[in-house]
Amino acid sequence: MMMMLMLSLLLLYTVAASVFRPLPKGTQHPIPQHNDGSAPDHVSPNLFASLERFSRLVDITYCVGTTGIVPPFSCVSRCDEFPTLDLVTTWNTGVLMSDSCGYIAIDHGAGPKSFTRSGRVNSREDTMDIKSRGAIIVAFRGTYSITNTVVDLSTIPQEYVPYPSPDHGGSEPPREPKYTCHNCTVHMGFLTSWEMARTIVLPALEPLRKRYPDYPIYLVGHSLGGAVAALAALELKVISGWDKMIVTTFGEPRVGNDGFVEYLNSVFELGGEEKPIEARMFRRVTHVDDPVPSLPLSEWGYKSHAGEFFISKSDLPPGPSDIRACAGNHDPRCIAGSAGEPLKRTGQILAEEKMQDTPVWTGGLWDIPSRFKLWQLFFAHRDYFWRLGLCVPGGDPIDWGRDKYPNYTNGDEL
């Protein structure tokens, strides 16, 4: 309780200082450019079904460290909804603020329809096809102490240097990374969590890669697990060379600074003119009332990366029309607008667009900014398709009695 009070006061002070600071005379803010072809107002039914499916997979991670997951793939929560999965391993590094929990599983009946030889996802609308091929799933659990994790460790950014490629033995030199991270720092707690998990995750993945060379790898995570999934995905793609990859995070906090964001956007081709949304390799799902995607604060040097998919509906359940793909790192029609960060800049952008008769999204903008809504750490931060984070039959009791989402994939698993 004391920690929540301290965080509230700190947030109020910091944001008040930034929001009510007078703008310099003549200050201009560019109007964000949006490509209607890459950022439509809502997602397709197939993409919605894919995101919803991953939300259930990441919800299962909360059984790790509590009631458990056992082979072949069984738990008291939603495991029976995935009969094509086989459990490989689980891990639980402890109960500290930087704890890491999760599981690795093989899905023998799901995966994207095709990848190009370069590893890029096929960009057709039917990329997420039914029963097309297998996949390797790595799922990272969130933490029940996300507030403490963000506040207690966010003031100590850690230099980010991706691990060198493993020693292949003999005279073969280490593989030179294609991407380099310049002037990058990341949240120390998030990096520590991945460092603890990687000693278990990487050794478990290598034999799977040899046994299933054609399987793509799916990384999913909620909350702290989303940040860890991002760091894991970077290492697997840049250092270990896993090209066939899709990353999906829910309520992911800000991981690092501008340099880190530029690096991640480059690796996953999220910067500049973005790919069609069906072809994105990194999907960062946010919720209109969730404060965590706006933390740690930008005033502390942390930034959001691109690839955002924004749930604009406050209550459960959302539908495809409630989710939009966002453009760039700070789309004012997405979490950046609902976060009120800062209100003056966002308001001026909207005013300029209004003068040009450009439609704007304003839902929730002038209400309490989402990053002030600390009570939502227990509600909206968990409201990603389902109420996540409680390993009991049927998930959180709020979901009991709810039918499954309409199956947009003609009656089969993705």
DSSP, residue by residue, 4-24: HHHHHHHHHHHHHHHHSSPPP
137: left (phi over 0), alpha (psi -120 to 50) or beta: beta
Torsion of CA 70, 74, 79, 84, to 10 degrees: 100
Amino acid at 239: I
Running DSSP on this structure, what letter comes out for residue 158?
E
Active site residues per annotation:
223, 290, 381
User: Which residues, including other chains, have CB under 8 Å from residue 159's CB and lie 6 or more apart?
Assistant: 184, 185
* CA dihedral (185, 306, 177, 162) positive or negative: positive
Indicate the length of the chain as a whole number.
414
**Both tokens assigned to 16:** 């008040």
**Both tokens assigned to 293:** 């995607």
Q: Which of 163, 182, 190 is nearest to 264 (CA)?
A: 182
270 neighbors 305 (Cβ within 8 angstroms): yes
CB-count exposure of residue 249 (10 Å: 0-12, 13-18, 19+): buried
**Helix/strand/coil for 30:** coil
DSSP, residue by residue, 109-123: SB--S-B-TTSPBP-
